[in-house]
Amino acid sequence: MVHHATNEATANEASTTTQPPSYNPSQAPLVYKVGYPPQKNFTREFTDRLRETFFHDNPLRQHKDQSGSTKFMMGLQFMFPVFEWGRNYNFSKFKGDLIAGLTIASLCIPQDIGYSKLANLDPQYGLYSSFIPPLIYAAMGSSRDIAIGPVAVVSLLLGSLLQNEVDSIKNKEEYLRLAFTATFFAGITQATLGILRLGFLIEFLSHAAIVGFMGGTAITIALQQLKLVLGIRNFTKKTDIVSVMESVWGSVHHGWNWQTVVIGIAFLTFLLFAKYIGKKNKKLFWVPAIAPITSVILATLFVYITRADKQGVQIVNHIKKGINPSSIHKIYFTGPFVAKGFKIGVVCGMIGLTEAVAIGRTFAALKDYQLDGNKEMVALGTMNVVGSMTSCYITTGSFSRSAVNFMAGCQTPVSNVVMSTVVLLTLLVITPLFQYTPNAILGSIIISAVIGLVDYEAAILIWKVDKMDFIACMGAFFGVVFASVEIGLLIAVSISFAKILLQVTRPRTALLGNLPGTTIYRNTDQYPDARHVPGVLIVRVDSAIYFSNSNYVRERILRWLSDEEDKAKAEGLPKTNFLIIEMSPVIDIDTNGIHALEDLYKGLQKREIQLILSNPGSVVIEKLHSSKLTEHIGSNHIFLSVADAVRFCTSKSMQEP
């Protein structure tokens, strides 16, 4: 087959030649053919595709040409990064980790106590979850900055899903066992995704949906804390805003405790002011970090001295002293609760993964190092499996603590070890001192912590950039706020998948025109100066052509053709004799797509219009050749660029009488 082509630099028709497209074909300085890729056998092709799907980062490339002992050590370092960064660890790095660890410990202790209440668990379980899991992550995790522990969103989601299955008050022991079971399966899910290198699955929850889901969950969590800040004893178990506000205002005359309100509002104001100071001056990052523990100390002293608990101020009371007891015997491995625990664990585990990987990648980008998402999943999964056996509930990376960890100058995951050590000392020695801590201060700490999850700036940007993304964002947000966390999550996932399906089933197509003075052809909507070529219709398909969109692509091209023919009749322009399909963006095609092109070709033949293909990629041309479609269309009607195709069409038109 013979094709005329310009000396272009890219696969697209990116020539900047100043000659008009209608010059004589004999002037073309070079002649090229559309290339066919070297044929691969099925095994080779399947292996390459499998490798690219699951091992695109080629994790074993460093093992090449290494001795057996070196490979073993490198494998050990791969599974346990502590053996890699630990070799270069020194006192200077330890100083940074020590300061960072102590700082995040002061933040995590009051948060852990509060977050355990979101999960409807006793306070000690929040502290347990900041002791064992961070130690596991320090050995296996690859992020230098992420701080591990319970987080508000996962705690609320876990508590909400568990409460739907078992009442946390009437069946406290069953509820606790189901929590450990869910944590176990969350860890199994996370580790399995990492081992099988299926981390790309969490990418199906779009950024816009996450922004909306997190914002809605933050509002829900904050509203839930009103029962603590206002001292309401009989509060709704529902999480939607309507039920919560009905419960709040229905208790205004007889359910509010004014002493509790004073404590809650006063310390909430203090915490928000501390966050404002830290935001205004980055050097004062430690102010909002130590504000929660300072608030707890001051509020506890105030209640103890004034005995406000005798006036109706609800306090934490007893926190069980001692380190994590074993809970492996409490995990359900048989019976009806296994399926329930698995379902809850998978949902919470996926949300925890999404949050942790996003946080890890954010700080890795700031410090310019690579984060292996699959390795992170194995580390997070392992720590949750071990955590489920040591009385912990689901833990993941906390954005607020990780941000403080980063600002405090952490160097390695040792900051998590320092934090864990402080939590251990708290469990062994300090827990009795929390007896008089008012619940109101815990509610204030949680509100101040989650308020930052309402990222209105991101929502505004999403609105400006992509309206469909904004619908996903708002759908998730309102689903959480007005229905429940589960409904909001379902809406977020559904809209994310709907967007993917919409883009796959209804790909964009564009009408191309010639930019005057060049042989470049571009979208006429984007470039209004692009000129229509008389007698030639040029359409670009901006997607792979699969079974899900092949009929749409064919019908959309025919509609472009009908519109152009109507326009030509109205304006007295020449009849369309050639249809050029620019296939540079078509990265793949399946049998349905080939049949659609074949049907299009046959339909055009009846209308005496010649179908011409421009720049099909290696995968596409190989499949077209295998299906014999290239023989039907004709090898002389397949060109390397739109400019070549147009040159052919104009020369043919000039030859016709």
At 297-350, the pLDDT tens digits run 999 999 999 999 999 999 998 899 999 999 999 999 999 999 999 999 999 999
What is the model's pLDDT at position 211? Answer: 92
- 2 pLDDT higher than 70: no
Beta-bridge partners for 397: 148
Tens digits of residue pLDDT in 585-622 = 999 999 999 999 999 999 999 999 999 999 999 999 99
Q: Is the pTM of this model over 0.85?
A: no
What's the pLDDT band for 1 if we cut at 50, 70, 90? very low
DSSP 269-328: HHHHHHHHHHHH-GGGTHHHHHHHHHHHHHHHHHHHHHTGGGGT--B------SSPPP-G
What is the model's pLDDT at position 63? Answer: 63
- 6 pLDDT higher than 70: no
Tens digits of residue pLDDT in 29-45 = 455 778 877 777 778 77
- Out of 443-447, 449-453, 652-656, least confident range: 652-656
Beta-carbon contacts of residue 529 (< 8 Å; ≥ 6 apart): 515, 516
- 23 pLDDT higher than 60: no
Average pLDDT, the chain: 89
3-state SS of the chain: helix, strand, coil percent to 5? 65, 5, 30
- 7 pLDDT higher than 60: no
Beta-carbon contacts of residue 554 (< 8 Å; ≥ 6 apart): 596, 597, 599, 600
Distance in angstroms (rounded) separating the CA atoms of residues 526 and 521: 11
Q: Which two tokens stand for residue 242?
A: 């309507």
Calculate what percentage of the chain has a pLDDT beyond 70: 93
Average pLDDT in the 129-135 region? 97
Report yes or no: 394 and 130 within 8 Å, Cβ to Cβ.
no
What is the model's pLDDT at position 60? Answer: 65
What is the model's pLDDT at position 308? Answer: 94
Report yes or no: 248 and 443 within 8 Å, Cβ to Cβ.
no
- 77 pLDDT higher than 90: no
- 282 pLDDT higher than 90: no
Calculate what percentage of the chain has a pLDDT beyond 90: 72
Distance in angstroms (rounded) separating the CA atoms of residues 110 and 271: 13
Evaluated on CA atoms 288, 290, 293, 297, the torsion sign reads negative
What's the pLDDT band for 372 if we cut at 50, 70, 90? confident
Q: Which two tokens stand for residue 448?
A: 């101040």
What's the pLDDT band for 21 if we cut at 50, 70, 90? very low
In SS3 terms, 153-180 reads as HHHHHHHHHHHHHCCCCCCHHHHHHHHH
Rg (CA), the chain: 32
End-to-end Cα distance, the chain: 26
- 100 pLDDT higher than 90: yes
Tens digits of residue pLDDT in 537-575 = 999 999 999 999 999 999 999 999 999 999 988 888 888
- Residue 396 phi, psi (nearest 5): -160, -165
How wide is the angle at C-alpha 243 spanned by C-alphas 237 and 249, nearest 5°? 110
Cβ neighbour number for residue 565 with a 10 Å cutoff: 16
Average pLDDT in the 429-443 region? 94
- 22 pLDDT higher than 60: no
**What is the amino acid identity at position 329?**
H
What ranges make up the beta strands (E) of 2-118?
A: 4-5, 30-31
Q: Which two tokens stand for residue 361?
A: 């990648």
Q: Would you say how long the chain is, in residues?
A: 657
What is the model's pLDDT at position 31? Answer: 53
Average pLDDT in the 346-362 region? 91
What's the pLDDT band for 25 if we cut at 50, 70, 90? very low
- 28 pLDDT higher than 60: no
Tens digits of residue pLDDT in 474-495 = 999 999 999 998 899 899 888 8
What's the pLDDT band for 5 if we cut at 50, 70, 90? very low
- 223 pLDDT higher than 70: yes
Higher pLDDT, 67 or 657: 67
Distance in angstroms (rounded) separating the CA atoms of residues 369 and 517: 46
Q: Name which of 579, 582, 597 is nearest 642 in CA terms.
A: 582
Q: What are the distances in angstroms from CA 131 to CA 82, 109, 126?
A: 18, 11, 9
